[in-house]
C-alpha cells in the first residue's frame, strides 16, 4: 500500500479560489517528476497546494548550480534520488557539508529572507525579468503563474497561499538567496561587503551557491570527503 501524502495546508476555508483547468492534468506530470505522486484528488485545493509545495522543494534542489558549467560537478552533494524527493531535510540542517561541496552563507533576518521568498513565489503584479535562469524551467513556478493569472481578481486568496508557504519555509534553517533573474546566485562580487562567508574556510574565494541562514543560527561545515 502506498503511503498517502500528508496535507500541509488548510486554505480551503477561503472562498472563491479558482484553479486553472490545466491543473487537472498535473497529477500525471508529478508522476513523472517525483517518487511520491499525489494519490489524492487534485481538485482539492489543500492537497493541490501541498503537492505544489513538494514540487517546489524538488525544483529548488534540482536547480542547484554546477561548479563550472553543465558538464561538471554540482555544488550539491545530494544524489539524484535525494534531489527528486520532496523531503525538506536538506533545508533543515546547518551541517552544510552534507548538502554542499562549497557554499557562501550569511546570517539574515526577516527582510532578506522575505525578499528571497518573494522571488521564489512572487506576489501578484510582480514584474518578471526577461532574462531569468532556473525559474522558467521549474514546474512549480509555471504552475504558480497559472494560479496567479486565474486569481488576478482575488488577491486575498493569493496572499493566503503565500503566507501558508512562507510559514512552512520559515521552519527551514536556510534558504537560497534567490534573485529577480536567478534562483541560485553564485557570483562573488560584493560577497564580503554583504558579509557572506565561504565554506569550506580554506581561503578560497571562488564561486559557490549563496544562501541565507537564520540570524540566530550557526553553520557547521566539517568537510565531507
- Pairing assessment for the beta strands 174-176 and 210-214 based on DSSP bridges: antiparallel
pLDDT at residue 29 greater than cutoff 80:
no
Structural domain boundaries of the chain?
21-33+41-214
Cβ–Cβ under 8 Å, residues 72 and 82: no
Using DSSP, state whether 210 is helix, strand or coil. Answer: strand
* pTM exceeds cut of 0.75: yes
R_g (Cα) of the chain, nearest Å: 18
Cell numbers for 42, please give them. 487534485
Q: How far is CA 66 from the centre of its chain?
A: 17
* pLDDT, mean of residues 68-96: 88
Angle (deg, nearest 10), helices 45-62 and 155-169:
50
Per the prediction, the chain carries an average pLDDT of 82
The dihedral over CA atoms of 15, 128, 186, 57, expressed in degrees to the nearest 10, equals 20
List pLDDT tens digits, range 172-197: 999 999 999 899 998 877 777 778 99
47: buried, middle or exposed (CB in 10 Å: 19+, 13-18, 0-12)? buried
What pLDDT score does 132 carry? 74
In angstroms, the CA 103 to CA 203 distance is 13
Amino acid at each position: 500500500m502506498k503511503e498517502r501524502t500528508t496535507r500541509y495546508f488548510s486554505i480551503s476555508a477561503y472562498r472563491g479560489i479558482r484553479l486553472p483547468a490545466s491543473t487537472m492534468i498535473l497529477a500525471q506530470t508529478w508522476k513523472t517528476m517525483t517518487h511520491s505522486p499525489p494519490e489524492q484528488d487534485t481538485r482539492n485545493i489543500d492537497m493541490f497546494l501541498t503537492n505544489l509545495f513538494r514540487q517546489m522543494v524538488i525544483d529548488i534542489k534540482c536547480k542547484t548550480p554546477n561548479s563550472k558549467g553543465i558538464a561538471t560537478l554540482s555544488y550539491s552533494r545530494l544524489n539524484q534520488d535525494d534531489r527528486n524527493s520532496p523531503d525538506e531535510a536538506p533545508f533543515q540542517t546547518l551541517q552544510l557539508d552534507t548538502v554542499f561541496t562549497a557554499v557562501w552563507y550569511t546570517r539574515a533576518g526577516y527582510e532578506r529572507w522575505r525578499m528571497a521568498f518573494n522571488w521564489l513565489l512572487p506576489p501578484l503584479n510582480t514584474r518578471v525579468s526577461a532574462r531569468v535562469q532556473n525559474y522558467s524551467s521549474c514546474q512549480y513556478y509555471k504552475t504558480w503563474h497559472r494560479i496567479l493569472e486565474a486569481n488576478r481578481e482575488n488577491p486575498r486568496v493569493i496572499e493566503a497561499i503565500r503566507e501558508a508557504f512562507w510559514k512552512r519555509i520559515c521552519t527551514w534553517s536556510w534558504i537560497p538567496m534567490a534573485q529577480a533573474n536567478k534562483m541560485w546566485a553564485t557570483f562573488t562580487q560584493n560577497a564580503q561587503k554583504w558579509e557572506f562567508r565561504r565554506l569550506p574556510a580554506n581561503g578560497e574565494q571562488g564561486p559557490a551557491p549563496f544562501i541565507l541562514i537564520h540570524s540566530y543560527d550557526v553553520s557547521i561545515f566539517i568537510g565531507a570527503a
